């Protein structure tokens, strides 16, 4: 072979390698396993990368407590230098609310917390400003009228547990508690979490670890220990979901929604910061894998039992999805075509079909796309996590495609 031919061969090989690398960057390889019966889930997951702008993600599905889908792929950072690994964790925003609700239901199941009691029975300071009749169930169902604080509350303020809970105890409701739901985007975790602390002596992060994630070996924390930061995926906003545009659009919201969604404004940049990860924000800074989310919501799908261990009695597990009345949510109403119904800590699938065709299935979405789903009738739980955030608070198209694929296989 001549020198010129060798050079041409080398050039073609280099082009072929570069083309393969470019293809892998645009359409990353999916890892893990998927039972043949659920091939549609793998197809939908791969399509999320090709068609729906996925950067890095993972999805896990269990049926009857057995894992039938456990897939991951893509990149843990926007520069695409760190592959999404089997044990990559990510902030899942409000998907955290399900595990926090679980903490309250464990205490209720043990007779230590009465969901029909006034919150002030456990947290006396909470009775201020006409809140003496607010019930524990109102906190769980976003009906306490405390979707956000009336006074400016900075990000640093949010990181201060004692300050945030004290301000919530001292403020007045935005509407008559118990009459309507209004999504408590950030305040939910402090409200339910402080009741958990008053009853158990532990904040929800420590309580969840002691009672659930520790015994079951579930890779999920509220906040993120510094020693685990190397495993964390970096959240990325799409242009349409940037913090600046959130702030601009929030100025058009009603005061009650403005308090819930923009006091303070938080987004990807804030969630990637050491301060956010070090804090305990039980409504929004749970970190885990899709496997962990599927396991936690699997407790609900398994009617209180998961991995051979009983966490809730069947009766207590059923109570989690006790509907509190459908309505147009005072905070999220504009984002849905009709009414929604929140149960005691999670949202019912309902007519929206947010968690599949079973109207009694339930779960919780996280800002930008993540999701935890429980369907006791089908014995199904699902965990979906990702780092490229879409603009929606719930029902991201990527999640919807995965949920539809699961049910098409049943």
**Residue 336's pLDDT is what?**
66
Among 357, 327, 363, 365, CA closest to 345? 363
* The pLDDT value given to residue 8: 54
Q: Backbone dihedral region of 130: left (phi > 0), alpha (psi from -120 to 50 degrees) or beta?
A: left
Residue 209 pairs in a beta bridge with: none
Which of helix, strand or coil describes residue 307? coil
pLDDT at 19 over 90: no
Distance CA 118, CA 95 (A): 26
pLDDT tens-place string over residues 141-182? 999 999 999 999 999 999 999 999 999 999 999 999 999 999
362 burial via Cβ count (<10 Å: 0-12, 13-18, 19+):
buried
d(CA 262, CA 248): 10
What digits encode the pLDDT tens for the residues 204-225?
999 999 999 999 999 999 999 9
What pLDDT does 254 receive? 86
Residues for the chain: how many in total? 410
The structural domains of the chain, with segments of one domain joined by +, span 90-409
- Which architecture characterizes domain 90-409 according to CATH? 3-Layer(aba) Sandwich (3.40)
Q: What amino acid positions are annotated as catalytic residues? A: 94
Q: Is 88 within 8 Å of 385 (Cβ atoms)?
A: no
Query: How many Å from the N-terminal Cα to the C-terminal Cα in the chain?
Result: 59
């Amino acid at each position: 072979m001549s020198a010129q031919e060798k050079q041409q061969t080398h050039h073609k090989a280099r082009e072929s390698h570069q083309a393969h690398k470019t293809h892998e960057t645009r359409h990353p390889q999916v890892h893990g396993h998927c039972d043949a019966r659920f091939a549609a889930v793998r197809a939908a997951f791969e399509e999320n990368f090709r068609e729906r702008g996925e950067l890095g993600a993972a999805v896990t599905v269990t049926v009857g407590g057995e894992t039938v889908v456990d897939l991951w792929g893509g990149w843990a950072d926007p520069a695409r230098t760190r592959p999404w690994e089997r044990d990559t964790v990510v902030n899942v925003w409000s998907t955290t609310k399900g595990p926090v609700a679980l903490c309250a239901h464990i205490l209720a199941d043990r007779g230590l917390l009465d969901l029909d009691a006034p919150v002030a029975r456990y947290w006396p300071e909470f009775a201020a400003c006409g809140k003496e009749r607010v019930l524990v169930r109102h906190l769980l169902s976003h009906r306490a009228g405390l979707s956000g604080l009336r006074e400016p509350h900075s990000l640093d303020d949010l990181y201060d547990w004692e300050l945030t809970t004290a301000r919530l105890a001292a403020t007045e409701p935005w509407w008559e508690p118990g009459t309507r739901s209004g999504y408590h985007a950030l305040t939910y975790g402090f409200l339910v979490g402080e009741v958990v602390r008053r009853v158990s002596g532990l904040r929800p992060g420590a309580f969840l670890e002691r009672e659930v994630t520790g015994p079951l070996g579930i890779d999920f924390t509220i906040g993120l220990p510094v020693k685990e930061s190397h495993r964390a995926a970096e959240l990325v906003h799409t242009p349409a979901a940037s913090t600046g545009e959130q702030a601009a659009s929030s100025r058009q919201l009603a005061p009650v929604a403005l308090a819930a969604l923009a006091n303070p404004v938080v987004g990807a940049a804030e969630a990637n910061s050491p301060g956010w990860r070090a804090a305990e924000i039980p409504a929004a800074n749970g970190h885990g894998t899709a496997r962990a989310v599927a396991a936690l919501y699997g407790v609900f799908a398994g009617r209180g039992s998961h991995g051979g261990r009983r966490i809730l009695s069947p009766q207590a597990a059923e109570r989690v999805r006790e509907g509190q009345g459908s309505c147009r949510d005072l905070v999220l109403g504009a984002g849905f075509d009709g009414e929604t119904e929140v149960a005691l800590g999670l949202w019912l699938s309902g007519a929206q079909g947010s968690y599949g065709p079973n109207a009694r299935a339930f779960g919780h979405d996280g800002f930008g796309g993540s999701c935890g789903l429980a369907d006791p009738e089908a014995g199904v739980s699902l965990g979906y996590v990702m780092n490229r955030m879409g603009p929606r608070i719930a029902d991201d198209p990527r999640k919807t495609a995965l949920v539809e694929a699961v049910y098409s296989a049943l």
